[in-house]
Amino acid sequence: MTSDPDAHRGRPGRGRPGRDGATPGPALVVEHLTKHFGGRVAYEDVSFEVGYGEVFGFLGPNGAGKTTTVRTLGTLIAPTSGSATIAGIPLTAESGAAIRERIAIMPESPGLYLRLTVAENLECFARLYELRDVRDRIDRVLRAVNLGDRAKDVCGSLSKGLRQRVALARALLSDPEVLFLDEPTSGLDPVATRDVHDLLTVLRERGVTIFLTTHRLEEAERLCHRVAILNTTLRLVGRPDELREQLFSRNLDVRTRAPLDEPGRVFDGLANVDGWERSPSGSYVLNVTDPDAAAPVVVRALVAADADVLSIAESHHSLEDVYLKLVDEDVEAAKR
């Protein structure tokens, strides 16, 4: 991280006009937002922007302040300091209802009225948003979450995965400018998780602005244009590939049939190769500046050393590696 105060703000990749079409700008602007509960810091000095049509992942360990941030942006919690603009409206003591008209939040727990039917749950929320053509909207969102035939089912009779889908339908009812999803796949089995992922992929393709909090890293990597990693303070913001490049050097993973007799003589001094090490699995991991340029040089060196090469490929760090590295750094810093 750099000392430039705006360096970790994270600019959105693209922008598009707001609902009225007249005020282009980011869907979310968060500047130095801080929340303390008494002496406890929930999150501190958080700044980022999210563009319209962007899927923004908000990652962090339990207790990092993700849900509290969502609740703040959803006007349920007042920030201690800092500012935010949500769907073009500054967050103030008076603007809560106006902001809530333009956004929707799906909390971690679906929070459905279990004695009411699916349609009755949605009808209540449609009326709270004062929507027109309530029946049509309910039909449309139920079809969008593949629940078109479950409108008359009592919510208490639905499985956890189906309840989650109803909650997502409820969040889509008002065509929100920003959709906040707080751990949408938490506690779901793999099939239900896949269903929710498929729905989110459809929403992403439709250009819905989504603020997704999760600690499922593969979920964020698959769905999000950009991610932010929060651990009380914001650690990083960027595209997953940017974050990998920022934190990790690029590597070539070389596998040979037998261990090399003198690997130092093979790899040391090769062009574009900055260093190497033996991995626990027995392969050789080479730090390179440009994998495409380094690979032919490495192959030639291996052939010259009479090595039987099984494979040579660029090794990719996952978002999980990025996340764990940052969290481990925080743990180490806390120990010191």
Which is it for strands 103-106 and 178-182: parallel, antiparallel or unpaired?
parallel
Q: Which is nearer to another protein, 155 or 273 (by Cβ)?
A: 155
Q: Which is nearer to another protein, 13 or 96 (by Cβ)?
A: 96
The sign one gets for the Cα dihedral 299, 304, 309, 315 is: negative
Q: Which is nearer to another protein, 73 or 302 (by Cβ)?
A: 73
Q: Which is nearer to another protein, 71 or 225 (by Cβ)?
A: 71
Give the bridge partners for 231, in sequence order: 233
- Shortest distance in whole angstroms from residue 174 CB to another protein: 8
At what angle are helices 160-172 and 118-128 packed, to 10 degrees? 30
- Shortest distance in whole angstroms from residue 179 CB to another protein: 11
Q: Which is nearer to another protein, 95 or 315 (by Cβ)?
A: 95
- Shortest distance in whole angstroms from residue 73 CB to another protein: 10
Return the DSSP state at 309. E
- Shortest distance in whole angstroms from residue 118 CB to another protein: 13
- Shortest distance in whole angstroms from residue 108 CB to another protein: 9
Q: Which is nearer to another protein, 75 or 232 (by Cβ)?
A: 75
d(C-alpha 285, C-alpha 128), whole Å:
58
- Shortest distance in whole angstroms from residue 169 CB to another protein: 12
**Residue ranges that bind another protein, judged by CB under 8 A:** 37-38, 68, 71, 74-80, 91-98, 100-101, 103-107, 109-116, 120, 123-125, 127-130, 167, 170
d(C-alpha 52, C-alpha 210), whole Å:
9
DSSP E strands in the chain: the ranges are 16-17, 24-25, 28-37, 40-50, 55-59, 81-86, 89-90, 103-106, 178-182, 210-214, 226-231, 233-238, 250-256, 273-278, 284-288, 309-315
| Residue for token pair 């349609």 | 119
- Looking at this protein, which amino acid is placed at residue 251? N
Q: Which is nearer to another protein, 35 or 317 (by Cβ)?
A: 35
d(C-alpha 38, C-alpha 207), whole Å:
39
- CA angle 209/214/215 to nearest 5° reads 150
Q: Which is nearer to another protein, 72 or 193 (by Cβ)?
A: 72
- Shortest distance in whole angstroms from residue 113 CB to another protein: 6
d(C-alpha 85, C-alpha 63), whole Å:
24
- Shortest distance in whole angstroms from residue 41 CB to another protein: 13
The CA distances from residue 130 to 133, 142, 169, in Å, are 10, 18, 16
